[in-house]
A and B are shown apart, each in its own frame.
Chain A
Amino acid sequence: MAVGTLVARSTAAATGILSPRSRNLPGLLFSLPLLALFACFVVYPLFFVVTRIFDRYTYEVLFSDPVYVQTIVNTVVYVGVAVNVKLFLALLLSGVLDSEGKATRFLSAIFLLPWAIPVLPGILSVRWMMSSQWGILNLISEDLGLGTHHWLASRWTAIGAIILFHIWKYLPFWTVIFLSARRGIPRQLYEAASIDGAGPLQTFRYISLPMLGGIYLICTLLSMVFTIGDFTNVQLMTGGGPGDSTHVLATLAYRYTFRMGKIDWGMGVFATALPVTLLFIFVLIKKIR
């Protein structure tokens, strides 16, 4: 009886929505282009990914590939070190740039330059500086009697170069974000602390840090989500070399998909990172709310 009523109600509701007299039909018709776009560019790609990631064999292959295991380590190091060092430095620098004075304004302008430089010339410059044969780093190293180093031909120095470039390039952006957040902290709090005799460290510990804590966490999560899928920096700096030892998830997925024609493996690489990314996004959304 209850089921019958439910069916009758839903049929009536459906007929109501699609009835020519209903206001919903034109609404639905007008939404169709957007729904079609949504279906093409969101639903279909998601469906495509989902149909390809549930294959046990893909993961057997991935987990038995030493390059994949190495890539996970690289990604954790890259994201962990680059994001945290960058944001910590951004927090400190935003404090410096927040102070008054012409010199600070001049420094701020200079400081923003890396952000304005496109990635490609930036990376080419770094590669040139780190060239074992012609680079300025080795020139200095040789002059100091420290010999020649294969900066980009050795796993950890190459990863170090990627991390350094990431910090150099994106530090200004996050500094500006923290600077705006600092400017939002009421000045009276600092004045009151100053009257109470608080020094710069205490002011930072008891006013700036608690007031910036929320935005710091949000920025960290956002930056982690961006960096976990970073392709450009790594591909241009090392291409995953030497010996596939500096791949991160995105470059490895590219290698599987386009160098080997194994699109399932490429998808699988991202699928294994999905729980972490989703966790970050979940925490991020909770934090924003």
Chain B
Amino acid sequence: MGQTRRQFLKTTAVGAGAAASTISFPMVSRGQTKKLVVWWNRGYYKEEDESMLKIAEDFRKQKNVDLDISFTIQEDLRNKIISALTARRGPDVAFCFYNDWEIMPKYAWEGQLIETTDVINELKPRYIEKFLEVAYCYDNKAKKRAYYGVPIEAQTMHSHYWKDLVKEAGLPDDPAKIPMKWDEHWAFWKKAQDNLRKKDPTKYAKVYGIGMTESSSATDTIYNFEMTLLTFSGQIFSNEGKVVADEPKNREAIVKSLKFFGEIFTSGYVPPDTLSWSDGDNNANFHSKSIVMTPNPSVSIPAHHYFNAPDNYFNKSATIEWPDGPDGRKPTYMVAVKTVLFPKDSANKNPDLGKEFVKFVVDPKRFAEYIKGANGRWFPAFKDVAADPFFSRGQVGKGGEKDPHLPTVTKIYLERNTKVFEHWKNPANSQIYAENVWGKAMTRMDVDKWSAEKAADEAIGRVKAIVAQWR
């Protein structure tokens, strides 16, 4: 017999009520354990992720926490964090490789990030202190400057080259014999290209001496430009965060830098595709040996060889520093320091537990294991972890070969002048870099055939216009 409409509605209501109450019961028992949501950048190597999963598991057990950790690749994670912050429903802990450049300055400015001065003060004795200012941002709501993130690892600029190609070109392949004065340095790579093409025009017709990224879609371009600008003693911002790019001394340095990029491109020593390279393309060109050398702001190239072709890592390639300036000064290195954030509007509103987790992660022994999983791609922001022999000695080959890469990188961090990128000074910097204003200026010269002066003036004008939006 069929039900009446009223009976059906009654049954439905009772059923729905019962279902709702059943679902709510576990919530009560779950509510007794503290919950933590962590969004973590997926590592480049599985060892990094495995190490972080182990740390999370240990934290879960030790603190009796319901910890939900997920790994996402950097571009997707950036979009996810921005969407979450816009919707004001973020995770408790967010670590993305783009935090320091694109997320922290803006959202700290908007008052959406939890202050971390307490954590920084606690960890201060362990920090390589010059890395710290990356998180010292301005909160425009609270009208104060404070720490709004926890820096954990860094990357900087160095160059890699194929020793066997240099040897083939009849030039000295020992890293100690590569000329490191500005003009001689670049002339060396041009000569390598010329010699190779002369030696075997068919084989080396498409091999270029310098794998310099000049595209407006790659962040490598930003490192290349900033390093060159420092070489020519130029500044975009003053120490107080004001735009000083249009001051004669700085404009001249910008013009000189742009001329340098324009000259190596138009003279044919840089692959023409460099104008549309993304961050991975200089790596790909290096791996396929279509470039003799490339400046790169991470150790991703040797790290790839270490896992896939140890002979390339130990015997056929090497890492060297950025060349000295035309005035003979040692370079100052731009450093990007990757930082963990804590959104105010998080899923569980449990900032103390989030901070507890990050302190747990950066414990010297645990963090050393985690960061070594990346095979030296990142350099620790902590002195005690950086003191691990792994960073000064590097890997050891099966035949006892010395590491020709990591010790050079460590030397840069510990012995050279370094300067963190200046997004922390003014969130406008995030936009300047997101727009890749300097990459665009290079395109103006390389493609549109503008003069360096005209390209520099357009870029300076754009920088000023962007900064004017952040008052």
Pick the interface stretch among A76-84, A218-226, A255-263: A255-263
Tell me which residues across on chain A come within 8 A of B9, comparing CB atoms.
26, 29
Quote the shortest CB–CB distance from A171 to chain B (angstroms). Answer: 26
B163 at the interface (CB under 8 A from A): no
Q: Which residue of A lies closest to B78 (CB)?
A: A258
Most A Cβ at <10 Å: residue of B5, B79, B272: B272
Contact of B430 among A150, A153, A239, A260 (CB under 8 A): A260
Contact of B434 among A26, A134, A238, A259 (CB under 8 A): A259
Whether the pair B215, A258 counts as a contact (CB closer than 8 A) is no
Tell me which residues across on chain A come within 8 A of B276, comparing CB atoms.
152-153, 238-239, 241-242
Quote the shortest CB–CB distance from A127 to chain B (angstroms). Answer: 8
A240 at the interface (CB under 8 A from B): yes
B216 at the interface (CB under 8 A from A): yes
**Interface size (A, Cβ < 8 Å)?**
31
Whether the pair B216, A244 counts as a contact (CB closer than 8 A) is yes
Contact of B443 among A66, A153, A257, A260 (CB under 8 A): A153
Whether the pair A243, B444 counts as a contact (CB closer than 8 A) is yes
A64 at the interface (CB under 8 A from B): yes
The proximity string for B residues 451-469 relative to A, scoring 1 for CB distances below 8 Å and 0 otherwise, is 0000000000010010001
Whether the pair B272, A153 counts as a contact (CB closer than 8 A) is yes
Contact of A244 among B79, B271, B430, B435 (CB under 8 A): B435
A131 at the interface (CB under 8 A from B): yes
Tell me which residues across on chain B come within 8 A of A152, comparing CB atoms.
276
B187 at the interface (CB under 8 A from A): no
Tell me which residues across on chain B come within 8 A of A257, comparing CB atoms.
82
Whether the pair B271, A133 counts as a contact (CB closer than 8 A) is yes
Q: A133-B273, A155-B447 are contacts. A258–B79 as well, Cβ < 8 Å?
A: yes
Quote the shortest CB–CB distance from A172 to chain B (angstroms). Answer: 28
A203 at the interface (CB under 8 A from B): no
Pick the interface stretch among B50-58, B102-110, B417-425: B102-110
Q: A134-B206, A150-B272, A153-B272 are contacts. A242–B443 as well, Cβ < 8 Å?
A: yes
Most A Cβ at <10 Å: residue of B102, B276, B436: B276
Q: Compute how far the CA of A132 lies from the CA of B465 in the bound complex, rounded to whole angstroms.
A: 34
15 contacts between A and B (CB under 8 A): A66-B462, A148-B272, A153-B273, A155-B447, A238-B276, A239-B276, A242-B217, A243-B444, A258-B78, A258-B82, A259-B102, A260-B430, A261-B85, A261-B106, A261-B107
Chain B residues close to A by CB (< 8 Å): 5, 9, 78-79, 82, 85-86, 102-103, 106-107, 206, 215-217, 271-273, 275-276, 278, 290, 430-431, 434-436, 439-440, 443-444, 446-447, 462, 465, 469
Chain A residues close to B by CB (< 8 Å): 26, 29, 61, 64, 66-67, 131-134, 148, 150, 152-155, 238-245, 255, 257-261, 263
